Structure 1
Amino acid sequence: MSDIETYKMAVAAIEKENLKAGSPEYAVACIVRAWLDYRPEEAAERVLAEGKSIADCYKYTCQKAAEIHRTMHGSPCVGVSADTMLEWILGYYGYAKGEAQTLIEGGLMMAVYQAMARSWTPYGMETEKAQPAAGGERKAKTATFDADLEDLL
């Protein structure tokens, strides 16, 4: 099977879980999808591994948070950094801690942040699609504002 087919199967497997937008599981799926887009040749095989799912990945990260909670002597919550959460997600998919850190520091964290940034658009602001439509050419959109500053005061 080609890398493209494996990638498409991994994307379909994530989408097949029908996660509710805004749920914690959906947030994990978005991170896994960013990883899949960043390193499809590595991530696709791991996402498709027997017994792996986004729901179970989320449960795994909850278990990791519970371990921290137990060691905090009665603290009512757990706060971890984004890179720690990403490390846990990669750990679920079989990466050793050092391997995960290398991948995160090598650009995966930036890819996740960029993917998240593309999903948020300020109200009323038009955005370009990440890629042009098939057969079409991407046209640069530029916002212009023609007004005299004195008119605004």
Structure 2
Amino acid sequence: MSDIKKYKAAVEAIENEDLKPGSPEYAIACIVRAWLDYRPEDAAERVLAEGKSVADCYKYTRQHAKAIHDTQGGSCVGVSADTMLEWILEYYGYTKDEAQTLIEGGLMMAVYQAMARSWTPYGMETEKAQPDAGGKQKTRTATFDADLEDLL
């Protein structure tokens, strides 16, 4: 199977899990998708591996969190984003060192960028569909175009 076909199959596999938006599983699916877009040649193969799913990845990360919870005896667990990403990558077969190298090499930034693209700040106007015409209506969007040195 070509790399493009593997990529498309991996995207389809994630989408076919039918995860509920807003759920922790869906959040992990978004992270896995960002990883897939960042490193498709490696990620697609791992996502498509026998027995791997986003739902099971969530269970894997919960087991790690439960272990921390049980040792601390608290009512909640807080871990950093890079630790969570490390657990996700471990589920998909990376060693801790390989995961850290990938995270520090740009994957964390790719995940943050993907998350940023999915949010629209409150009050910011975006393109809205016109229901009666079926087209797109352009609205003003807030933009800022300046050189950083001009501001200093």
On whether the aligned pair clears a TM of 0.5, the verdict is: yes
Partner of 1:30: 30
- Structure 1: how far apart are the matches of 2:84 and 2:58? 10
Alignment partner, residue 135 of structure 2: none
Equivalent position SS for 2:75: coil
> How many residue pairs align between the two structures?
131
> In structure 2, what is the equivalent of residue 113 of structure 1?
112
In the superposition, the TM-score normalised over structure 2's length comes to: 0.82
Q: Deviations over 1:5-48 (max 9, x none)?
A: 00000000000001000000000000000000000000000000
Do structure 1's residue 104 and structure 2's residue 103 form an aligned pair? Answer: yes
Secondary structure in structure 1 of the residue aligned to 2:63: helix
Q: Is the 8 A contact 2:38 2:110 kept in 1?
A: yes
- Structure ranking higher on relative contact order (CA contacts 8 Å, 6+ apart): 1
Alignment of 1:125-144 (within 5 A): 125-126=124-125, 143=142
C-alpha RMSD of matched pairs (Å)? 1.6
Q: Does 1:89 align with 2:88?
A: yes
Runs of 5+ consecutive residues of structure 1 not aligned to the other structure: 129-140, 145-153
Is there any run of 5+ residues in structure 2 with no aligned partner, and where? 128-139, 144-152
Q: Percent identity?
A: 83
Task: Render the CA deviation track for 1:59-116: whole Å, top value 9, x for unaligned.
Answer: 00000001111111x2111000000000000000000000000000000000000000
